[in-house]
Amino acid sequence: MRYWLMKSEPDVFSIDDLARVRTEPWTGVRNYQARNFMRDGMGKGDGVLFYHSSCEVPGVAGIAEVASAAYPDPTQFDRKSEYYDEKSTREEPRWMLVDVAFKRKLKRTITLAELKDQTRLDGFALLQRGNRLSVLPVTKAQWDAILALE
């Protein structure tokens, strides 16, 4: 089992939205490194820290789980989608996704400021200067340290 952090803007899709729908395809990732994490690294049952980003109080808001193997993101083929990619084909899709399933909402959001104060999280990808990836690997030690803050 591996662990991940996946960012979502809460005004677009929040942990409450995931709780309501239970499982959601993680569409719209258009960064090759984040895509590679989903395609090559993620497996069904992996743990996910659901992170609210680009909001007043960014932080870890809930726990989710990878619910499928990677498969082609259908939005890349949809001409009406903001994620349409004219160079991607069904025979050779560029963009992959995984389904993400709700596990639980945290009792409170563990804020980015709190995470930055944790010496146990030195080296955590989220806290690295200039890192803007929406999908990040998390070690078991980092996972445990973050959830201990709840």
| Domains defined for the chain, CATH in brackets | 3-147 (3.10.590.10)
The greatest distance separating any two alpha carbons of the chain, rounded to the nearest whole angstrom, comes to 47
**Residue 94: burial class (beta carbons within 10 Å; 0-12, 13-18, 19+):** middle
* pLDDT in the model for residue 38: 98
**Cα–Cα distance measured from residue 54 to residue 59, given in angstroms and rounded to the nearest whole number:** 10
Q: Which amino acid is present at 88?
A: S
**Cα–Cα distance measured from residue 43 to residue 98, given in angstroms and rounded to the nearest whole number:** 9
* pLDDT in the model for residue 32: 97
Segment 52-87, tens digit of pLDDT: 999 999 999 999 999 999 999 999 999 999 999 999
Could you tell me which residues are beta bridge partners of residue 50? 6, 62
Residue 99 · residue 26 · CB < 8 Å: yes
